């Protein structure tokens, strides 16, 4: 049984209860949409019941019997030029939620009051995004694609997230440091060339706003933004693409490769 049919069937108790009423009232043809939905098999015959109900004068008076449907896990369908004509259909409280199908619904706002401290601005922007998730484990969602400037390519997005946060923290202008990049190791190498990278074992104490870098070798790694430094030497980070979401976590120096000194780089 397909996911869409199994979810749709949960509402058939209301439709079945009204079917006989519809036919008795007006002698309706219960398969009025049958030919239009024949390609959908048995699911089409279920939808065709709506054809009967659209002509039933009692149908619009039955909103309390109509259930809500949450299609948050519904897959994508391409119907080409398949057209629906519901000119006389009264949905009333018939509620469909296509949030995830459309890429996660409304975009997460990032309304942060910018100050002269650009590194802390980036931290506040990052914190405003905690809780944003991918759709499944696709590396895509409306917000994730926002971090990639609208691109939906299924690629890892931690560096795109950090780049986006620093861009937003500077009125979309981060050209003085690492600019916009989708590569965690590109951020590291640019900081090294500019003299603003410190290894985690160098004795350097990270600051709020620093970019923390993991280096896995072969050009692969991970990045986040330091959001708090704790008295015990640990620090909190905001990281995108961390278990498919934006998360704030507690980290330790022995977990990471090093830090980009964003406060100093921005003031240089």
pLDDT at residue 80, rounded to an integer: 52
Q: At what angle do helices 42-54 and 12-26 cross, to 10 degrees?
A: 50
Domain end (from 34, 67, 97): 97
Q: Is the pLDDT of residue 49 over 50?
A: no
Angle (CA) 59-64-67 rounded to 5° is 95
In a domain, 234, yes or no: yes
Q: Which domain holds residue 29?
A: 3-97
Same domain (yes/no): 170, 92: no
| CATH code assigned at 179 | 3.90.1720.10
Same domain (yes/no): 139, 38: no
Same domain (yes/no): 156, 254: yes
In a domain, 107, yes or no: no
Q: Is 139 left (phi over 0), alpha (psi -120 to 50) or beta?
A: left
Same domain (yes/no): 62, 191: no
Same domain (yes/no): 147, 230: yes
In a domain, 110, yes or no: no
For 97, the 3-state DSSP assignment is strand
Same domain (yes/no): 172, 47: no
For 148, the 3-state DSSP assignment is coil
Same domain (yes/no): 84, 122: no
> Average pLDDT for residues 155-178, to the nearest whole number?
92
In a domain, 182, yes or no: yes
> Rounded to two decimals, what is the model's pTM?
0.63
Same domain (yes/no): 125, 257: yes
Same domain (yes/no): 135, 89: no
Same domain (yes/no): 124, 227: yes
d(CA 200, CA 214): 10
> Average pLDDT for residues 239-265, to the nearest whole number?
98
pLDDT tens-place string over residues 218-235:
999 999 999 999 999 999
Same domain (yes/no): 172, 91: no
Same domain (yes/no): 145, 89: no
> Average pLDDT for residues 145-168, to the nearest whole number?
96
Share of the chain above pLDDT 70, in %: 60
d(CA 54, CA 41): 21
In a domain, 54, yes or no: yes
Number of domains in the chain: 2
Domain end (from 28, 62, 97): 97
Long-range contacts at 229-238 (CB < 8 A, ≥ 24 apart):
229/205, 235/206, 237/212, 238/123, 238/126, 238/127, 238/129, 238/130, 238/165
Query: Across the chain, what does the average pLDDT equal?
Result: 75
pLDDT at residue 105, rounded to an integer: 53
């Amino acid at each position: 049984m397909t996911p869409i049919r199994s979810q749709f069937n949960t509402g058939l108790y209301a439709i079945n209860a009204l079917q006989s009423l519809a036919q008795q009232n007006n002698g309706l043809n219960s398969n009025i949409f049958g030919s239009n939905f024949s390609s959908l098999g048995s699911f089409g015959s279920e939808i065709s019941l709506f054809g009967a109900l659209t002509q039933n004068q009692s149908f619009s008076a039955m909103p309390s019997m109509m259930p809500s449907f949450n299609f948050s896990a519904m897959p994508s369908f391409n119907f080409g030029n398949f057209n629906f004509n519901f000119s006389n259909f009264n949905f009333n409280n018939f509620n469909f939620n296509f949030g995830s199908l459309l890429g996660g619904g409304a975009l997460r706002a990032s309304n942060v009051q910018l100050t002269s401290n650009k590194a802390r601005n980036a931290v506040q922007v990052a914190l405003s995004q905690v809780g944003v998730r991918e759709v499944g484990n696709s590396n895509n969602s409306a917000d994730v694609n926002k971090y990639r400037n609208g691109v939906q390519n299924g690629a890892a997005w931690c560096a795109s997230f950090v780049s986006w946060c620093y861009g937003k923290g500077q009125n979309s202008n981060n050209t003085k440091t690492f600019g916009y990049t989708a590569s965690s190791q590109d951020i590291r190498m640019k900081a090294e060339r500019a003299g603003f990278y410190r290894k985690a074992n160098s004795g350097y104490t990270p600051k709020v706003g620093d970019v923390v870098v993991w280096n896995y070798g072969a050009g692969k790694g991970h990045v986040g933004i330091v959001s708090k430094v704790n008295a015990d030497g640990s620090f909190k980070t905001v990281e995108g693409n961390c278990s498919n979401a934006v998360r704030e976590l507690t980290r330790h120096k022995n977990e990471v490769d090093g830090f980009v000194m964003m406060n100093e780089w921005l003031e240089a």
